[in-house]
Every structure is written in structure tokens, then in C-alpha cells.
Chain A
Amino acid sequence: EVQLLESGGGLVQPGGSLRLSCAASGFTFSSFVMSWVRQAPGKGLECVSIIGTNAANTYYADSVKGRFTISRDNSKNTVYLQMNGLRADDTALYYCASRVTTVTTKYFQHWGQGTLVTVSS
């Protein structure tokens, strides 16, 4: 059974930092592109970052570029999101999602249950 288990969320002051983790199991982690998708309270979904299978390629939404860093450790089947310079509008539930990305197929395949990040003083 595929599982994506996020952790690391919590309450942080504006300007602070958090590191989210997503532990994967039940599939060949190193073969999948991974992503972080967030959802602010009462709002829609936003893809904030994507990382390629070997971490050579990373992508960020404009809203987090320069502040967030995605990484992965294929030996630990884990993807991370280092979040610096946090702002109130980063408050959201952060989902980890595996992404199928081939020449013929592209979509978010599996989703975690999310970890909540609250930025407030």
C-alpha cells in the first residue's frame, strides 16, 4: 500500500523557518517525481514545488521562489521542504504528492494527509 506521511508542520512566527518531511513507502520512491501542494484555509490547491527523480531539477511557484527549498533523499525515501522567511500567507495545509511524469503521462498520483503550517505572531 502506498503511503506518504508528512511531518514537521507547526506554529511559527513571521520570518521564521520550518522543515517539512514526507516519508514514502509502498512504491519505488526513486523513480517518482515528488511535489508539495498547499491549501490555505478555505482556499484552493497550489503546487509550490516539484523535484525530479534525482534531484537535479527543481521547480518553485513564484510565491515561494527564493524562500523555499525542496530536496530529497532517495536512500531514505523522503522528500523535504525547507521553508525560510515564512509569511502569514504561507499558512496552509501542506500535502506531499507523488507525480507521474513521463512523455505520455503527467499527473499527481498519490497524496499524503498533509501537515499544517501556521505562521502567526
Chain B
Amino acid sequence: QTVVTQEPSFSVSPGGTLTLTCGLSSGSVSTSHFPSWYQQTPGQAPRTLIYNTNTRSSGVPDRFSGSILGNKAALTITGAQADDESDYYCVLYMGPGSVVFGGGTKVTVL
């Protein structure tokens, strides 16, 4: 059973930078997992932020960036703003029809 791991929560000050990670319970994350990231604010549907590790979806500001850091995928938010306060989910592709969400990271901006 593949488990995708994310930090449960993260706090950042306005204007600060944070890096969220997305790992595997067993093994390393690589570009072959096609890491993608989604933002969800309370009561709203998810919004696609990043796909293919580091490609921003249409309309996503360049404050959001994706990468591979060590053995994990990473989402970095620079210049954090109040409306970045959301839940962030990563998704890894594990094979045909096998798409696994991480547990999500709740980001607080304070």
C-alpha cells in the first residue's frame, strides 16, 4: 500500500517563504511520478497549481514553484499572502490508474 506523505501543517509569516514536501513511505519521488500540487480553500473545490513537478497551471502566480528536493517533491511559496492560507495536496502517479493523494498540508499565514 503506497502512502504519500505530507507535513500535516505549516505556518508562515506574511511575506515569508515556505516549502512543502511530498514523499513516499517507501522509496524516492522522482519526475516519473509526475508530481502535481493542488490548493483547496475551505468550502471550495481543489485548484490545480503545479503539474509535471514544476509546471505552473494557467493563471497560477510565479510565487508558486515546484521541484524535486532530495527524495521528495516540493512546493515552494514565496512572498506568502493571506489568501495562500489553504490546504495543499500533492498527487503522485504510481502507474496506470494508480493515482495517490497525499494527506494534505494545512498552511496558516500569521
A contact set with B: CB distance below 8 Å: 35, 37, 44-47, 50, 57-59, 95, 97, 99-100, 104-114
Chain B residues with CB under 8 A of A50 = 97, 99
Assess whether B98 is interfacial by the CB under 8 Å rule: yes
Tell me what chain A mostly uses at the interface: helix, strand, loop, or mixed.
strand
What 15 new A-B contacts, CB under 8 Å, besides A100-B51, A106-B36, A110-B48? A37-B46, A44-B102, A44-B103, A47-B91, A47-B99, A50-B99, A106-B99, A107-B36, A107-B52, A108-B91, A109-B48, A109-B57, A111-B47, A111-B48, A112-B45
Chain A residues with CB under 8 A of B104 = 44-45
CB distance from A99 to the nearest CB of B (A): 8
* 9 tightest Cβ-Cβ pairs between the two chains A and B: A59-B97, A107-B51, A107-B36, A106-B34, A111-B45, A44-B104, A45-B101, A47-B99, A106-B93
